[in-house]
């Protein structure tokens, strides 16, 4: 008989866009990528209430799984064992000043306990392994790194978006650790006469009109549907990603897949994408601006980044992510039978 794997498939408002994509893609792909296992998904309920801490574990227990995978750190306090948990990053603990005071106690009281009892902790990038050990006391040998994947739409040829001028692009939320001031400063200090706009997803919470100059402006695009993002990537001079840290940073992988050069803070670029992007030190607007100028001025460099990025992105699909995740399940199941 096939071992039954329970998946906590809740897509709640606590999850970022990237975390929601992770849940949807794994739930959709695991059955075909791991036909030797049986999967049952539980998608009802939110976070922090009765539905999460009482109903969900009771419902999972009734399904009698051999293993449960909680796809985010937002889990019940008590849960059937054995289980695996995914913790994408520890941004909340790296930059506590940017989040509500109750976040730290939640991680210390709930997430630490959940992670310590897990058969395995899955994370997205090698640098988070050290964070898990530092903040939660998780031994590195109990952590498995499984890179995220790029959606199929970004691997298909896209019609590039065209604007009045060439443009740099930012895709992501506007939380403080994304360090948008460094991006804006880097763009504003491009040499006089460089006509290149800055297009950014999300609401205009920065007062974009005050950045307007005679030869360029900031354009806030609002919520851009995933179906349109590939066109914005394909038409951009480069994606500029100034975040101080990322769990994985799906926009960088998406941009590479769509044929867009990537300029990123070195501390945010996933280790699997190193060498396929230009990088700059954290909060260094001057270096970021110089990288932007290089991509604008050097077509050979731009095409090198496009080609390297496309080749690298093609390696990281959601099918691969599902296969490697299933390997973690098999590892835990094998241990349980010894």
- pLDDT one digit per residue (tens) for the chain, 338 residues: 899 999 999 999 888 888 999 999 999 999 999 999 999 999 988 888 888 888 999 999 999 999 999 999 999 988 877 999 999 999 999 999 988 888 889 998 899 999 999 999 999 999 999 999 999 999 999 999 999 999 988 998 889 998 889 999 999 999 999 999 999 999 999 998 889 999 999 999 999 888 888 889 999 999 998 889 999 999 999 999 999 999 899 999 999 999 999 999 999 999 999 999 999 999 999 999 999 999 999 999 999 999 999 999 999 999 999 999 999 999 999 988 76
Distance CA(97)–CA(114), nearest Å, equals: 24
Per the CB < 8 A criterion, the answer to whether 79 and 60 are in contact is yes
Q: Residue 76: what are its φ and ψ, rounded to 5°?
A: -65, 155
The b-or-e profile of 28-48 (16+ CB within 10 A means b, else e) is ebbeebbeebebebbeebeee
For residue 82, say if its preceding peptide bond is cis, omega within 30 degrees of 0.
Answer: yes
Distance CA(126)–CA(226), nearest Å, equals: 27
Angle, in degrees to the nearest 10, between helices 250-257 and 226-235: 60
Q: Give the SS3 label for residue 8.
A: strand
Comparing CA positions, the residue from 177, 148, 192 lying closest to residue 316 is: 148
Helix (H) or strand (E) holding 308: helix 299-313
Distance CA(248)–CA(273), nearest Å, equals: 10
* Token pair recorded at residue 108: 């210390």
Which one-letter DSSP state was computed for residue 14?
T
* Token pair recorded at residue 327: 């390997």
Q: Residue 185: what are its φ and ψ, rounded to 5°?
A: -65, -40
Parallel, antiparallel or unpaired: strands 278-280 and 262-265: parallel
* Token pair recorded at residue 178: 């994304």
Domains and CATH numbers, the chain: 3-148+317-336 (3.40.50.2000), 152-313 (3.40.50.2000)
* Token pair recorded at residue 188: 């504003």
pLDDT given at position 107: 92
């Amino acid at each position: 008989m096939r071992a039954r794997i329970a998946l906590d498939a809740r897509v709640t408002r606590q999850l970022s866009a990237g975390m929601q994509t992770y849940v949807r893609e794994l739930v959709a792909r695991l059955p075909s990528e791991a036909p030797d296992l049986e999967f049952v998904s539980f998608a009802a309920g939110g976070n922090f209430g009765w539905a999460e801490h009482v109903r969900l574990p009771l419902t999972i227990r009734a399904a009698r799984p051999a293993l449960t995978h909680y796809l985010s750190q937002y889990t019940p306090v008590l849960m059937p064992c054995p289980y695996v948990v995914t913790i994408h990053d520890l941004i909340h603990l790296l930059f506590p000043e940017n989040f509500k005071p109750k976040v730290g106690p939640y991680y210390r009281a709930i997430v630490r306990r959940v992670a310590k009892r897990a058969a395995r902790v899955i994370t997205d990038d090698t640098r988070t392994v050290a964070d898990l050990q530092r903040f939660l006391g998780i031994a590195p040998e109990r952590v498995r790194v499984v890179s995220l994947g790029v959606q199929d739409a970004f691997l298909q040829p896209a019609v590039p978006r065209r604007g009045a001028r060439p443009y740099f692009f930012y895709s992501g939320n506007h939380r403080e650790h994304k360090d948008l001031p460094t991006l804006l400063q880097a763009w504003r200090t491009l040499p006089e006469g460089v006509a290149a706009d800055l297009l950014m997803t999300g609401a205009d919470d920065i007062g974009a009109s005050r950045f307007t100059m005679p030869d360029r402006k900031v354009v806030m695009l609002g919520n851009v549907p995933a179906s349109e993002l590939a066109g914005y990537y394909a038409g951009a001079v480069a994606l500029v990603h100034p975040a101080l840290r990322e769990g994985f940073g799906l926009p960088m992988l998406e941009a590479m897949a769509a044929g867009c050069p990537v300029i990123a803070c070195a501390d945010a670029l996933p280790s699997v994408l190193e060498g396929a992007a230009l990088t700059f030190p954290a909060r260094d607007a001057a270096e970021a601006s110089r990288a932007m100028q290089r991509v604008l001025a050097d077509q050979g460099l731009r095409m090198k980044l496009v080609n390297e990025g496309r080749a690298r992105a093609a390696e990281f699909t959601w099918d691969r992510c599902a296969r490697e995740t299933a390997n973690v399940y098999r590892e835990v199941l094998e241990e349980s039978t010894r």
